[in-house]
Structure 1
Amino acid sequence: MKKQELIHLHGLLSEVETQYEHWGEELDLEAYENLGVKPTSIHKSKTDHKAAVFKLAEGITGASPEKDTESEPVAPTAD
């Protein structure tokens, strides 16, 4: 994935974070915030953004009500 694509993904995940906050959900984003990398930090390296994307995604999925269970298996291919 290119740096520009990572920054775009970082921005999209940041919007998801904002929506969770709007809903009143508490997200555990301490690990993400400790990195000090935001979607607008375009001067940061690709590696920094990749780490931030993973930490932000972990924080968001940790708030998901179905984080440990899956109701039905997902097919590996689309119809």
Structure 2
Amino acid sequence: MTMKKQELIHLHGLLAQVQEHYEEHTGNTVEHDEYLDQGVRPTSIHKSKTDHKAAVFALADGLTSELESEVKEPLSASAD
């Protein structure tokens, strides 16, 4: 199943909000030069579906890299 352009733009916006929330609450900056170099933001609705897809992957990669750097040891799954 492939995503529609509108769905990618929505996901792009959600990832941008996750980044803003993370940076605001941790004081850390997400390094994502690849994302910034693309020049595609969630509000860039004139950009192609392919552009937004690449931006989503680049932003998600930057976010996961930042979060992985914080994890010192894996957390085990447990029910409270």
TM class by shorter chain equals 0.7 to 0.9
Of 15, 18, 40, which residue of structure 2 is paired with 1:16? 18
d(CA) in 1 for partners of 2:74, 2:6 = 32
Counterpart in the other structure of 1:25: 28
What is the alpha-carbon root mean square deviation over aligned residues?
Answer: 1.7
Counterpart in the other structure of 2:8: 6
Structure 1, gaps ≥5 residues long: 74-79
Name the SS for the 2:40 alignment partner.
coil
Larger helix proportion of the pair: 2
Identical-residue share of aligned pairs (%): 56
Q: Does 1:46 align with 2:49?
A: yes
Q: TM-score, normalised by structure 2?
A: 0.81
The one-letter amino acid of 1:44's match is K
Q: TM-score, normalised by structure 1?
A: 0.82
Query: After the TM superposition, which segments of 4 or more aligned residues of structure 1 sit over 2 Å from their partners?
Result: 68-73
Q: CA deviation at 1:26?
A: 1.9
Q: CA deviation at 1:72?
A: 4.7
The count of aligned residue pairs is 72
Q: Alpha carbons of 1:46 and 1:69: their partners in 2 closer, same or farther (altered >3 Å)?
A: farther
